[in-house]
Chains A and B, each alone.
Chain A
Amino acid sequence: MTYPKALIELIDDFQSIDDKMERLEYVFDLASEVNELPTSLWSEETRIHGCQSEAHVLLEIEDGKVSLKSGADSKLVQGLMGILTIAMDNLDTEEAKKITPDFAVDMGILNSLSPSRSNGFRNMFDKIMNELEEY
């Protein structure tokens, strides 16, 4: 599929980094990309299950566009949320629904993560998509 421009740039960035430490460092930096969900709003409804750390996401639709707010106690996990924010935030809902998790494979980021973190990333994505389908 055709990805949004910001996501294409992100995929290119990750593909150009070979060193695992630098990739992780980049994911850390992306933690600042999230629209922060304050811990006071973390709840069972916002919890991402299957993550080994505490991770939360709130999906809302404003004027037909996706609004993502998220947070985690792990900066690495929050960085993964930052990637999803770049991929989906402020996108028309119908456009967002077309996104598949393949972009993470194209990015190569899953290879830099442990299987449990990769699963956590997939759970994050699935939670957002499942909630999106309800709109």
Chain B
Amino acid sequence: MAIRDDFPILQRNINGHPLVYLDNAATTQKPSVVIEAMNEYYTMNNANVHRAVHTLAGEATNGYEACRTTLKSWFNADRCIMTGGTTEAINLAAHAWGHSQLKGRAIILTEMEHHSDIVPWQMLAESFGNELRYIPIKDDLTLDMEAYEASIEGAGLVCVVHTSNVLGVRNPIEKIIEIAHKNGAKVLIDAAQGAPHCKIDLNELGADMMALSAHKMCGPTGIGCLLVNEETFQEMKPFMGGGDMIETVTLQKSTYQTNEHRFEAGTPKIAEAIGWDAALGYLGNLNLEEQHHRLLNIARYVADELRSMNMTVYGRHDGDDSAVVSFLHPTLHSEDLAHLLDARGVAVRTGHHCAQPLLHRLGINGTVRASFYIYNTMEEAELFIQHTKDILERFA
């Protein structure tokens, strides 16, 4: 049975054409097992987690905590704090760790970052006066590692995207961590795009923090996590106060839980965690490395075809890069092309992809982006290329 048969939405027709879903870098579709797991929870197990002693509460707690256990094992991480997604995870890092640990120290970012890994640090710098330094991008669309090494002195944190959501470029994380640690700086990895495509071992990498989202890896929206090593976890101070994160509360003072719950105030994303756990179970049954190579070959085919249509393609599609193809036509506006592709059932992304500094560096305002995931086929890629050719003949 083909992978795509597990995804009900892929059976849809859009505007009279079979859906070709190529917006996976924005969010992925969900297999039946995820939908069924969440449905089962709400149908049979719904309860709040952790405190109550009744059977349903126990089932809900086990389901929620099972996701944490799976994530810690999947990414070989000491600690896993559940969040609302990558953005919330990075904001948590900025508040819970950055506020107490980055006073007077510089923060290093890259020109390639998603807004979610820029804005929280700009906000922190506005409050505490931190210097922000950006690793520039070279003309070959890789990070300027010499400039990075030259800028590391006095830095307390290096924030780097594992894989660019615009270019698909996989950054030299290992080297970045090595240089940071040699100079006493910690490293936060934005793995929103990297985690869905390859297994990342946090402890083997030696990264201190890593943020990711469930919905980019077949899980539900609204949940993600911040993975943290033990040393960093012990340095973090509670950020949001409320129920579930406390040990005791008196009218004068509160004490906090010592485990990850101290950062998860309020009722957590229970159904979403159960859905994410099911997604990880689903992905765990696939050979992700084999899928990565298959999808990269599709991306290379698409990039070559688009270039032959006089498109500018932004990306290199090297061995570790993700299957993302960003491109522009010299005359047909990116949004016009996307509208016309949608009329043929093809879903692609347009705009700045929440990476305006990167696009500014490239000297453009936006791109069309086709991004591929496990259920996409070469036949779909060929159909996308054929539709694009037809559209250019009629409209360009």
Contact = CB atoms under 8 A, between A and B. Distances in A.
Contact of A24 (B333, B343, B351): B343
B341 to A, nearest CB: 10
A52 B336 contact: no
Interface string A3-45: 0000000000000000111001100100000000000000000
A65 interface: no
21 contacts: A20-B15, A20-B16, A20-B342, A20-B343, A21-B344, A24-B339, A24-B340, A24-B343, A25-B395, A28-B395, A52-B351, A53-B333, A53-B335, A74-B335, A74-B336, A75-B332, A75-B333, A75-B336, A75-B395, A76-B335, A112-B343
A77 B336 CA distance: 8
A122 interface: no
B138 interface: no
A29 B351 CA distance: 24
Given A20-B15, A25-B394, A75-B395, A117 B339 contact: yes
Q: Which of B336, B340, B342, B351 has the most CB of A within 10 A?
A: B336
B82 to A, nearest CB: 31
A52 B351 CA distance: 8
- Please report whether the interface of chain A is mostly helix, strand, loop or mixed according to DSSP: helix
A2 interface: no
Q: Nearest 3 A-B pairs (CB), nearest first? A: A74-B333, A21-B343, A20-B343
A52 B336 CA distance: 11
Contact of A76 (B16, B336, B344): B336
Nearest to B338: A114
Number of chain B interface residues as a range: 10 to 19
Contacts of A75: 332-333, 336, 395
Interface residues of A, number: 17
Interface in A28-87: 28, 52-53, 73-77
Q: Which of A25, A52, A113 has the most CB of B within 10 A?
A: A52
A117 B340 CA distance: 13
Contact of B335 (A20, A28, A52): A52
A101 B351 CA distance: 27
A19 B16 CA distance: 9
Contacts of B395: 25, 28, 75
A21 B340 contact: yes
A10 B245 CA distance: 61
Q: Which of B342, B344, B351, B394 has the most CB of A within 10 A?
A: B342
Contacts of A20: 15-16, 342-343
Nearest to A23: B343
